[in-house]
Every structure is written in structure tokens, then in C-alpha cells.
Structure 1
Amino acid sequence: MSQAPVAGQSPQTLNSLLLPLTDRSLLLPSVALAELINQRPVEPRPGTPDWYLGDIVWRDLRLPLLSFETASNGAVPAAPSAGARVAVINAIGGRPHLKFYALLVQGIPRPQKLDTGLAPAGAPLAALELDSALVEGTVARIPDLVALEQKLADIGLI
């Protein structure tokens, strides 16, 4: 439960981003996003799961491009919309060979300043989702980025 601010103090806020996906929005802290880039040519990697869309090149690095929707609920990856972008994510799992990876997003993330006492939305959660929150009328999912990175490790790609 959040506490009321003391006189002269403002409530703590978290700079966040709402990342639009095909079937949901993800809520990430702003520092998780290294860069938002236009779609790039994707080099498929044979023998990988459907959620591993292939590799892209970013700043002379090869990054895995992932479909969060497919990784979390097994749905067939949707074709990218005309406004699709690639969100380059800072890896947080502490693996020395994984500093960044990429997620396909269906538009431009919206910045949000959120109170750290944000209440959960209580929406049903899919795999790789830690919680949900209501943000400006949108149910946003809080992804388990460490578990997503573990999925990459489990298939032997990092």
C-alpha cells in the first residue's frame, strides 16, 4: 500500500514506457529500453522456436529478435503492422554473453510517469507476465524479462 506524501514531498514516480504489442501492452521502466529502431532485415535461425523471429544487426551487434506474445502464450507470430518497430532491450539477467535483445513492437512506445504505488489491474496473467496495472485506461502487463532471457538460455542461444 502506498503512503501519503509528507508535506513538502512529492510522491515517488517511475519513468515508464507502454510498449504496444499485437494483443497487449507491456509496461517497462524507461531504463529497460536501449533504443527504439525501425524494422530491419531479419535473418531466420533454423531450428529455433516460433517466438525467436531471427537475428537483426544493431550497432554492429547481432541481436535475437523475439515475439513476446508468442513466447508468453504460444500464439503464431502476427505479421508486423506498417508501424511496427523494434525495441532494443537492455538485458538484466546478468549473463555475460547477452547485453541486449530485441522485441518486435507494433508502434511507438508511450512514455508514462507512474506513481510507485500503482495498483494492480487484477487481469489474468499469461506466462512471462509478473503482474498487470491499469495505466490511462489500458491494462498493461509487466513482463518477466529475466524469464524471457532464460528462455533464450534454455534453447542454447546465449
Structure 2
Amino acid sequence: MSDALDSLTGLIIPLAGQPLLLPNVAVAELVGYRVGQTAPRGPEWFIGWASWRDQKVPLVDPGLLMGQPPTEGPGTRILILNAVGGRPGLNFIALRIGGIPRSRRVLRRELAATGQTGDFVSQQVQLLDEEQPLLIPDLEAIEQVVTEVLAAQ
């Protein structure tokens, strides 16, 4: 098997609960935490909009969305994700995260599926030298609920 299929460069994203594991290519930028506009209504996980590069980007707390504690505190940042679903008007999603992500080369042989999937979790995994299991988010499902919330605003 080729190296491209045996490994990828990922980011371990800190949250208040379980961290996320995302491929580098999903991430557009990491920025300081600042809400451009709060949401007047909607689910608790939908915070509002972040202002990024002269755009309003929907801002989500992924921990709350996945049933974890909210991610708040002095190290809070915003991670801008590239939208992957091709939904009109949704090019990026902003995630409220608990600090600076760590880059990590993920080798297939060091990765084991460990838990149940969920509405917004594609897989829970354990990396060989990580203490805590990591969640691989279902970005398509997250984009879908964000699209539905935005339509109701």
C-alpha cells in the first residue's frame, strides 16, 4: 500500500470534553476568539457568526453539538473549516475550540476504532500514544444541521 493510504497529517483539536481529530486539509485557518454577531435564536451549540476575512461564518461549539461540555475559557480560539458538502452559501464553518491544535502524523497501524458513532461523530478512535480517545466528526452531518439552523434565522 502507498504511504498516502497508510498515513495522513491530522490535527488534534482541543475541546472541553473529548478532542477532535481532523485532517489538515479540512482546516482553513486558526484565529482568535471573537463573536461577530450572536445568534438571536437557535440551538445552544449555534453561537452566532464569526467575522473572518470580510465574511460572516456560522460559529458552532462542536462539544455542545456532540453532547459534551461547552468549550469556553481563556485559551478559546476559532478554527475555520472548509465546508465539504457543496451547499450553496456555506463555504466555511467556524468551530469554537479550547486552544491551539496539535499537528500529528496519523499512521494507519497506530489507529484503532474504539467507540460508537453518533449523529455528528463518524468514529471514535484511539491513537497509540494519545491518552484520550479522539472523535472524528461527521462534517457532512454538521454542515447539514448548520444549513438548517441558518435557514431558520
TM-score, with length taken from structure 2: 0.87
- Structure 2 residues without counterparts, runs of 5 or longer: none
Aligned match for 2:126, one of 123, 134, 138: 134
Greater radius of gyration (CA): 1
Cα deviation code 1:84-141 (max 9, x no counterpart): 1100000001112111010000011000101135533412444311112112223111
Q: Which has the higher helix share?
A: 2
How many angstroms apart in 1 are the aligned matches of 2:71 and 2:62?
13
Change (3 A) 1:83 1:100: same
- Structure 1 residues without counterparts, runs of 5 or longer: none
How many angstroms apart in 2 are the aligned matches of 1:12 and 1:62?
37
**One-letter identity of the residue aligned with 1:128:** F
1:26-105 equivalent positions in 2, closer than 5 A: 26-73=20-67, 78=70, 80-105=72-97
How many angstroms apart in 2 are the aligned matches of 1:62 and 1:11?
35
TM-score, with length taken from structure 1: 0.84
**One-letter identity of the residue aligned with 2:43:** P
Number of aligned residues? 150
Confirm whether residue 21 of structure 1 aligns to residue 35 of structure 2.
no
Return structure 1 stretches of 4+ with deviation > 6 angstroms.
none
**One-letter identity of the residue aligned with 1:145:** L
Cα deviation code 1:49-68 (max 9, x no counterpart): 11100111000000111011
Percent identity, please. 32
